[in-house]
């Protein structure tokens, strides 16, 4: 009887741990997306790592792009080693990876590897134009 009671308590504890972990992961996932995307803004997430030569090669390009778009585009960076759970949640498997989100926080494009400045700008311009087209009273040409 004591063994059966101990087994029931053990199984219950395991289920409680699994439930708590799952709940925490769901909350973390929501927080990740909330911190990565900013409501109403186009976002380009760059996932990299300190040890990654292609990531290092992209740094000056990303800095230049960020300066060009300043307040129009949110451009956070996630280090694959420091934020492994967030990177795993996003399904990133290689660095560098760039993930583009529209103004509603929906992923619209993903690229793995080095992405050239002109390609980044083209994608951001496309997303910004779509966002502007949705604003009442403004045509995409008027916003540019």
- In tens, the pLDDT along 49-79 reads 999 999 999 999 999 999 999 989 999 999 9
Strands 77-79 and 42-48: parallel
List the helix and strand counts (H, then E) for the chain. Answer: 5, 5
State yes or no: pLDDT of 134 exceeds 80: no
Q: Is this prediction's pTM over 0.95?
A: no
- In the prediction, which pLDDT does 71 show? 85
């Amino acid at each position: 009887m004591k063994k059966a009671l101990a087994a029931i308590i053990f199984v219950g504890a395991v289920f409680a741990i699994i439930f708590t972990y799952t709940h925490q992961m769901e909350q973390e996932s929501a927080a990740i997306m909330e911190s990565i995307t900013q409501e109403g803004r186009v976002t380009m997430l760059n996932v990299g790592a300190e040890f990654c030569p292609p990531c290092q090669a992209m740094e000056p390009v990303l800095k230049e792009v960020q300066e060009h778009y300043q307040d129009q585009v949110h451009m956070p960076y996630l280090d694959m080693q420091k934020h492994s759970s967030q990177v795993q949640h996003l399904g990133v498997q290689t660095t560098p990876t760039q993930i583009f989100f529209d103004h509603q926080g929906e992923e619209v494009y993903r690229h793995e590897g080095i992405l050239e400045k002109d390609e980044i700008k083209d994608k951001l311009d496309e997303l910004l134009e779509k966002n502007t087209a949705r604003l009442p009273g403004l045509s995409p040409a008027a916003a540019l």
